[in-house]
């Protein structure tokens, strides 16, 4: 585990650089694939930037919501913390991120870009979908190095013992299940499956494609809702909050079943990456 890197003049969290490596790889691949999907390559890049801004806001906002109960219960102590150490108070309330908040924020950011510049939404949505689990996988590797999102106490095969972490004292030498790495691996498998489906569809003529707009996203959501619900039982951190015996993420997973089913049904939508002939020709001349 390596939560931070000391550059001599500044100490930075390792999570951010690992996440950004995944994001940069995704953007490069998206830009290369965009012309074959009918999405302008620069629109594909700019919409991602909007999405990443939304991701940051959404992930931080949902994290704050999960911290609110603790802030309300000990409000006087929180006010005192603000007076004594404002930075510590900010870290307590906004020092983490929640994946589902980031996912929703990313989607809203992309939709905002498409609406503002009058671009069909489904093209970017289908184009980005396979790369969501890719970036998320890198993010979970970052979590492993940072020591956050850690697993339950577990002393069996493949268990890990984290060294001292000033940010998460509960990790001290306690054997844990490496749930972050398991989720990263499952995300990479999802990426491999989705990118294979995408490439197969792009090789077919528009009229012969089997998938419809949004169905790639529906497949991804369905897959992730199932694995996330299961993986939550292997999580040892309680900071994300619980309602009854379900964690916040499990409740959100249940709520997202309806949109996932709607995306999978896709009765009245066009074939995936469908581009009218005239638009297709125009795109080819611009590339």
Q: What is the pLDDT of residues 256-285, one digit of tens each?
A: 999 999 999 887 888 888 766 544 444 443
Query: Rounded distance, CA 63 to CA 42, Å?
Result: 32
Q: Of the candidates 134, 138, 286, which has an alpha carbon nearest to the alpha carbon of residue 196? A: 134
Is 46 domain-assigned?
A: yes
Is 103 domain-assigned?
A: yes
Determine how many CB atoms are found less than 10 A away from the CB of residue 52. 19
Tokens of 38: 């009918």
**Angstrom distances, CA of residue 137 to CA of 7, 23, 242:** 25, 10, 24
Angle between helices 15-37 and 131-146 (to 10 degrees): 170
- Long-range CB pairs of 114-121, under 8 A, 24+ apart, other chains included: 114/47, 117/43, 119/39, 119/40, 119/43, 119/47
DSSP per-residue letters across 162-227: ----SS-GGGTT-EE--HHHHHHHHHHHHHHHHHHHHHHHHHS-GGG---BTTHHHHHHHHHHHHH
Is 97 domain-assigned?
A: yes
Is 286 domain-assigned?
A: no
pLDDT of amino acid 282: 42
Q: How many domains is the chain built from?
A: 1
Is 259 domain-assigned?
A: yes
Is 287 domain-assigned?
A: no
- Residue 247 pairs in a beta bridge with 242
pLDDT of amino acid 276: 60
Query: Rounded distance, CA 170 to CA 175, Å?
Result: 11
Q: What is the pLDDT along the chain (287 residues), one digit of tens a residue?
A: 566 666 666 667 788 889 999 999 999 999 999 999 999 999 999 999 999 999 999 999 988 888 888 788 888 888 888 888 887 778 777 777 888 999 999 999 999 999 999 999 999 999 999 999 999 999 999 988 888 888 888 888 888 887 766 656 666 678 889 999 999 999 999 999 999 999 999 998 877 888 999 999 999 999 999 999 999 999 988 766 677 788 888 999 999 999 999 999 887 888 888 766 544 444 443 43
pLDDT of amino acid 268: 83
- Residue 22 pairs in a beta bridge with none
Is 283 domain-assigned?
A: no
Query: Rounded distance, CA 139 to CA 16, Å?
Result: 8
Is 149 domain-assigned?
A: yes
Tokens of 253: 């997973």
User: How much is the pTM?
Assistant: 0.85
The residue whose two tokens read 């074959």 is: 36
Query: Where in the sequence is the domain holding 133, given as residue range(s)?
Result: 4-277
> Quick one: how far is CA 227 from the chain centroid?
14
pLDDT of amino acid 273: 87
pLDDT of amino acid 170: 66
């Amino acid at each position: 585990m390596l939560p931070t890197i000391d550059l001599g003049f500044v100490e930075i969290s390792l999570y951010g650089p690992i996440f950004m490596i995944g994001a940069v790889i995704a953007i490069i691949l998206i830009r290369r694939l965009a012309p074959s999907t009918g999405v302008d390559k620069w629109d594909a890049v700019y919409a991602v930037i909007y999405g990443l801004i939304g991701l940051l806001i959404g992930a931080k906002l949902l994290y704050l919501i999960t911290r609110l109960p603790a802030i309300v219960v000990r409000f006087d102590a929180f006010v005192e913390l603000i007076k004594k150490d404002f930075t510590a108070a900010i870290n307590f309330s906004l020092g983490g991120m929640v994946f589902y908040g980031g996912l929703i924020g990313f989607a809203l950011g992309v939709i905002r870009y498409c609406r503002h510049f009058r671009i069909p939404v489904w093209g970017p949505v289908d184009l980005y979908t396979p790369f969501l689990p890719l970036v998320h996988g890198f993010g979970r590797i970052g979590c492993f190095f940072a020591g956050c999102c850690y697993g339950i106490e577990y002393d069996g095969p493949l268990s890990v013992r984290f060294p001292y972490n000033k940010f998460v004292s509960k990790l001290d030498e306690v054997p844990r299940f490496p749930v972050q790495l398991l989720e990263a691996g499952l995300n990479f498998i999802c990426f491999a499956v989705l990118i294979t489906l995408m490439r197969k569809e792009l090789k077919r003529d528009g009229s012969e494609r089997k998938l419809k707009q949004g169905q790639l996203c529906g497949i991804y959501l369905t897959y992730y809702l199932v694995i996330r619900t299961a993986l939550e039982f292997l999580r040892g951190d309680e900071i994300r909050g619980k309602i009854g015996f379900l964690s916040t993420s499990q409740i959100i997973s249940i709520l997202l079943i309806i949109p996932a089913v709607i995306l999978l049904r896709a009765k009245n939508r066009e074939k995936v990456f469908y581009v009218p002939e005239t638009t297709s020709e125009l795109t080819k001349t611009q590339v």
